[in-house]
Amino acid sequence: QVQLKESGGGLVQAGGSLRLSCAVAGRTFSWYAMGWFRQAPGKEREFVAAISRSGGSTSYSDSVKGRFTIFRDNAEKMVYLQMSSLKPEDTAIYYCAAGGSDYYSTRTRDDEYDYWGQGTQVTVSS
Between the alpha carbon of residue 53 and those of residues 32, 33, 42, 86, the distances in Å are 6, 5, 32, 27
Contact 122, 68 (CB under 8 A): no
Query: What is the predicted pLDDT for the residue at 117?
Result: 98
> Which amino acid would we find at residue 97?
A
CA distance 97 to 29: 12
pLDDT digits (tens, 9 = 90+) for 35-62: 999 999 999 999 999 999 999 999 999 9
Average pLDDT over residues 62-84: 97
Query: What is the predicted pLDDT for the residue at 29?
Result: 87
Residue 1 pLDDT exceeds 90? no
pLDDT digits (tens, 9 = 90+) for 81-106: 999 999 999 999 999 999 988 899 99
pLDDT digits (tens, 9 = 90+) for 2-42: 999 999 999 999 999 999 999 999 878 889 999 999 999 99
Query: What is the predicted pLDDT for the residue at 43?
Result: 97
Query: What is the predicted pLDDT for the residue at 70?
Result: 98
